[in-house]
């Protein structure tokens, strides 16, 4: 075996998952040519193999030195100029069986170590099968494709992480295109806060807030009651002992019970709760609160003050936020009717709801087009069909028209609605476990921040990561700041695709969260080339350094051509920024 051209050296130390190799001085070059191909000896991140009978153990070089790692091992038997490699063991291959992660048989002192050549790499990575997608090419071989197990990539969840300009968006496109091209029954929803991806997927179903042709509607009544109460009036579940909170819940429930005749199917009012996703008018909610606060009555007794005893001049207009007008009550000292309302429970809530309704930023929630109420032409089954039932396979939800202040609410509602549809449809033939779905979250750090304790989106996405697998729902997070993402989410990620990360905090998050304990590969993150990634986790046979192809057409996330644009002359005109200022004021493109 020592006479073979692949011979590298022998083992001088063995730990639980690490070995140390003394490179043979008989090797004539640090870059031998084997079968016409040049191989670098001691390149960090490259593979070595240890043949023991019919077992071949594989490892990855993590460090190179001219002295052994243990100072006490330095003695006369190691000649001057010796080279030493520290290697992390990653897996083994028994006979003609496929490569497997983990080591069952450990090598011992003086076992031979050999260079892994291209043929060995093909043995490790194997051929593409029906349950995999091609991620890219191995960095050490232009001919070697690297494949990922699609089941584990999607349902064990995935993360694409990388600093700005590292190729993160291109990697996302590569992964999604590989899925969509190879699997005709695939379903993907991409949450796109900046509207970057429609250009890369011209055949996708693109839904956009405030878009005339393909508008994205997200009705506010999809919220649970706790979410609705917090959004409208800032109330929390801990307020459930307060009378105004209980009456607010009762009012919402009654409004929903009045709208049980629906396009998706009639609902028994007895089963309706404040959490049921049934349409109702937020303006009617405000109107009724305003009515009880400002009404005049012919009696002073609170329990007798009702619509019969009310004294009013006109009904107002709920849709235009005009309250009913009542006959002015006289001074209580005169003890004459009409009397002032004793129902002051909604005093603080009514003003807050009115403020929300008048805020144009929330129009897409309060005025969801054809999904406005029970009399509207469309219902939730049509909304679901637009998102996950259309024939495009990929639906891009373009949220670029959503103000940052309400991005959290928007993502939370999208996620919870999709999760609920997969949960309640888990046994149907056309959805749930019988047709899984991938939810992809671009710029995840902006709305899944670990320090935000009152986040709609974080709570909803965490639930997907913790429980979605059981109902056929997988998730992908894409971020340039993994250190800011919820720890619960990162703990559930099965596969990490990490591009160049220069921040030490972000690197440590990947190192601590990655399922494979291969710190030597993670340590390469700051030095990766653009479009190059370290892939570790359940979906890949062995942690690898991979190059991803450049996709055309590209997402609109590439850098501006600064030098070219700054060489151009731009005529000054005081009219230039009118449209920009108007967009700022309206918060609309």
Dihedral angle over CA of 448, 449, 453, 455, nearest 10: -30
DSSP per position, 17-59 = SEEEEEEPTT---SS-EETTEE--TT-TT-EEEEEETTEEEEE
> Per the domain annotation, does 586 fall within a domain?
no
Q: Which of 286, 182, 292, 156 is nearest to 232 (CA)?
A: 286
Total tally of structural domains belonging to the chain: 3
> Per the domain annotation, does 513 fall within a domain?
yes
* Stretch among 73-82, 114-123, 201-210, 421-430 having the lowest mean pLDDT: 73-82
Q: What is the pLDDT, as a whole number, of residue 71?
A: 53
35-58 per-position pLDDT tens digit: 667 777 778 888 899 999 999 999
The more confidently predicted of residues 423 and 34 is 423
Q: Indicate if 89 and 178 belong to the same structural domain.
A: no
Q: Which residues lie closer than 8 Å to 267 by C-beta, 6 or more apart? A: 260, 276, 278
Q: Indicate if 349 and 493 belong to the same structural domain.
A: no
Q: Indicate if 529 and 409 belong to the same structural domain.
A: yes
Q: What is the mean pLDDT of residues 478-506?
A: 93
Strand partners, 473: 437
Q: Indicate if 231 and 200 belong to the same structural domain.
A: no
What are the structure tokens assigned to 190, written together?
């991409």
The more confidently predicted of residues 200 and 589 is 200
> Per the domain annotation, does 216 fall within a domain?
no
Q: What is the pLDDT, as a whole number, of residue 585?
A: 62
Question: Omega before 389 cis (within 30°)?
Answer: no
**CA torsion sign, 75 to 78 to 79 to 80?**
negative
Q: Are 435 and 472 in contact (CB under 8 A)?
A: yes
> Per the domain annotation, does 296 fall within a domain?
yes
Q: Which of 154, 132, 152 is nearest to 464 (CA)?
A: 154
Q: What is the DSSP letter of 389?
A: I
Q: What are phi and psi of 133, to 5 degrees?
A: -130, 155
9-18 per-position pLDDT tens digit: 999 999 888 8
**pLDDT bucket at 336, cuts 50 / 70 / 90:** low
Q: Indicate if 173 and 278 belong to the same structural domain.
A: no
CB atoms within 10 A of CB 237: 10
Q: Indicate if 100 and 13 belong to the same structural domain.
A: yes
Q: Which of 545, 541, 538 is nearest to 523 (CA)?
A: 545
Q: Indicate if 84 and 44 belong to the same structural domain.
A: yes
Q: Are 194 and 400 in contact (CB under 8 A)?
A: yes
Whole-number Å distance between alpha carbons of 54 and 56: 7
Tracing tokens 């000896």 back to the chain, one arrives at 41
* Stretch among 425-439, 504-518, 557-571 having the lowest mean pLDDT: 557-571
> Per the domain annotation, does 414 fall within a domain?
yes
* Burial class, 365, CB count within 10 angstroms (exposed 0-12 / middle 13-18 / buried 19+): buried
pLDDT of 573 > 50? The answer is yes
Q: Which residues lie closer than 8 Å to 333 by C-beta, 6 or more apart? A: none
Question: Omega before 338 cis (within 30°)?
Answer: yes
Domain region containing 456: 146-204+392-567
**pLDDT bucket at 564, cuts 50 / 70 / 90:** confident
Buried residues in 324-335 as b, exposed as e (16+ CB within 10 A): bebeebeeeeee
Q: What is the pLDDT, as a whole number, of residue 42?
A: 74
Q: Indicate if 335 and 286 belong to the same structural domain.
A: yes
Q: Indicate if 106 and 17 belong to the same structural domain.
A: yes
> Domain of 462: which CATH number?
3.40.50.300
Instruction: Among 237-241, 332-336, 552-556, name the most confident range.
Output: 237-241
Per DSSP, helices labelled H in 135-261 are 150-155, 168-182, 225-233, 243-257
Q: What are phi and psi of 449, to 5 degrees?
A: -70, 130
> Per the domain annotation, does 278 fall within a domain?
yes
Q: What is the mean pLDDT of residues 264-281?
A: 91
Predicted TM-score (pTM) of the model is 0.85
> Per the domain annotation, does 365 fall within a domain?
no
Whole-number Å distance between alpha carbons of 546 and 131: 20
What are the structure tokens assigned to 93, written together?
């291959």
Whole-number Å distance between alpha carbons of 281 and 259: 10
Q: Indicate if 428 and 551 belong to the same structural domain.
A: yes
pLDDT of 380 > 70? The answer is yes
Whole-number Å distance between alpha carbons of 503 and 359: 39
Q: What is the pLDDT, as a whole number, of residue 76?
A: 45
Q: Indicate if 419 and 273 belong to the same structural domain.
A: no
Q: What are phi and psi of 91, to 5 degrees?
A: 180, -175
> Per the domain annotation, does 556 fall within a domain?
yes
The more confidently predicted of residues 581 and 425 is 425
DSSP per position, 307-333 = TTTB-EEE--BTTTTB--EEPPP--GG
88-135 per-position pLDDT tens digit: 898 899 988 888 888 888 999 999 999 888 888 888 887 778 889 999
**pLDDT bucket at 472, cuts 50 / 70 / 90:** very high
Q: Which of 497, 496, 488 is nearest to 452 (CA)?
A: 488
Q: What are phi and psi of 418, to 5 degrees?
A: -65, -45
Q: What is the pLDDT, as a whole number, of residue 330?
A: 56
Q: Indicate if 345 and 403 belong to the same structural domain.
A: no
């Amino acid at each position: 075996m020592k006479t073979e051209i692949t011979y590298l050296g022998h083992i001088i130390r063995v730990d639980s998952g690490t070995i140390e190799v003394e490179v043979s001085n008989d090797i004539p070059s640090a870059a031998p040519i084997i079968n016409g191909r040049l191989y670098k000896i001691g390149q960090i991140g490259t593979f070595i193999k240890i043949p023991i009978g019919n077992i071949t153990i594989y490892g990855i070089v993590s460090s190179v030195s001219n002295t052994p790692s243990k100072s006490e091992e330095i003695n006369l038997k190691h000649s001057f100029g010796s080279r030493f490699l520290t290697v992390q063991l990653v897996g083994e291959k028994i006979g003609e069986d496929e490569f497997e992660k983990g080591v069952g048989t450990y090598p011992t002192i003086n076992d031979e170590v050999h260079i892994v050549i291209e043929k060995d790499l093909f043995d490790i990575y194997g051929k593409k099968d029906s349950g995999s997608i091609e991620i890219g090419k191995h960095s050490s071989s232009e001919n070697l494709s690297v494949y990922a197990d699609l089941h584990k990539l999607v349902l064990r969840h995935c993360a694409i992480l990388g600093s700005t300009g590292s190729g993160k968006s291109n990697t996302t496109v590569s992964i999604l295109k590989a899925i969509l091209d190879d699997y005709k029954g695939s379903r993907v929803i991409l949450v796109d806060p900046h509207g970057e991806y429609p250009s890369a997927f011209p055949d996708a179903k693109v839904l956009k807030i405030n878009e005339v042709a393909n508008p994205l509607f997200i009705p506010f009544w999809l919220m649970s009651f706790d979410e609705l109460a917090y959004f409208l009036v800032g109330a929390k579940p801990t307020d459930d002992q307060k009378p105004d909170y209980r009456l607010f819940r009762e009012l919402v429930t009654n409004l929903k019970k009045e709208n049980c005749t629906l396009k998706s199917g009639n609902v028994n009012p007895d089963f309706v709760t404040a959490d049921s996703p049934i349409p109702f008018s937020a303006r009617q909610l405000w109107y009724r609160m305003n009515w009880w606060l400002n009404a005049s009555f012919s009696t002073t007794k609170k329990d007798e003050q009702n619509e019969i005893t009310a004294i009013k001049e006109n009904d107002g207009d709920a849709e235009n936020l005009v309250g009913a007008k009542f006959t002015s009550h006289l001074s209580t000292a005169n003890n004459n009717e009409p009397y002032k309302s004793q129902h002051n429970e909604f005093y603080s809530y009514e003003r807050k709801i009115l403020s929300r309704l008048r805020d144009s930023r929330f129009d897409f929630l309060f005025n969801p087009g054809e999904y406005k109420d029970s009399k509207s032409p469309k219902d939730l089954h049509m909304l679901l069909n637009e998102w996950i039932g259309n024939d495009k396979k990929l639906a891009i939800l373009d949220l670029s028209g959503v103000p940052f202040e309400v991005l959290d609410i928007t993502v939370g509602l999208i996620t919870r609605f999709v999760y609920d549809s997969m949960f309640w449809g888990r046994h149907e033939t056309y959805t749930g476990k019988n047709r899984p779905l991938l939810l992809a979250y671009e710029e995840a750090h902006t709305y899944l921040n670990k320090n935000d304790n009152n986040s709609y989106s974080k709570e909803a996405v965490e639930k997907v990561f913790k429980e979605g697998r059981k109902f056929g729902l997988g998730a992908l997070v894409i971020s340039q700041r993994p250190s800011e993402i919820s720890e619960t989410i990162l703990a559930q990620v099965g596969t990490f695709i990490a591009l160049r990360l220069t921040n030490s905090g972000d690197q440590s998050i990947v190192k601590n969260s990655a399922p494979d304990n291969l710190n030597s590969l993670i340590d390469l993150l700051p030095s990766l080339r653009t479009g190059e990634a370290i892939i570790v986790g359940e979906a890949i046979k062995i942690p690898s350094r991979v190059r991803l192809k450049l996709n055309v057409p590209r997402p609109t996330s590439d850098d501006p051509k600064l030098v070219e644009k700054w060489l151009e002359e731009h005529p000054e005109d005081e009219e230039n920024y009118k449209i920009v200022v108007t967009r700022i004021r309206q918060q609309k493109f």
